[in-house]
Amino acid sequence: MKEEKMCPVCNRPFSWRKKWKKNWDEVKYCSERCRRNRSKLKNAESEDH
């Protein structure tokens, strides 16, 4: 079975992909869309505090 991680932006699991073979440890987001929207995640966290 392939490894899975949780995307911090959309809170969905995503699986290992061949294109991430060399940098799987650094991969944090499931998609380019979530990577671009990571600033919205930070804004939501700051509003909670």
Give the per-residue SS3 of the chain: CCCEEECCCCCCEEECCHHHCCCHHHCCCCCHHHHHCHHHHHHHHHHHC
pLDDT of residue 40: 74
Tell me phi and psi for residue 45, to 5 degrees.
-65, -40
Task: Note whether 40 and 29 are within 8 A (CB).
Answer: no
pLDDT of residue 38: 87
pLDDT of residue 15: 96
Mind listing the pLDDT tens digit for each residue in 1-49? 579 999 999 999 999 999 999 999 999 999 999 999 988 766 666 666 5
Please state whether the predicted TM-score (pTM) of the whole model is above 0.75.
Answer: no
pLDDT of residue 39: 83
Q: Where exactly are the structural domains of the chain?
A: 4-48
- Phi/psi-derived region of residue 16, left when phi > 0, alpha when psi is between -120 and 50, beta in every other case: beta
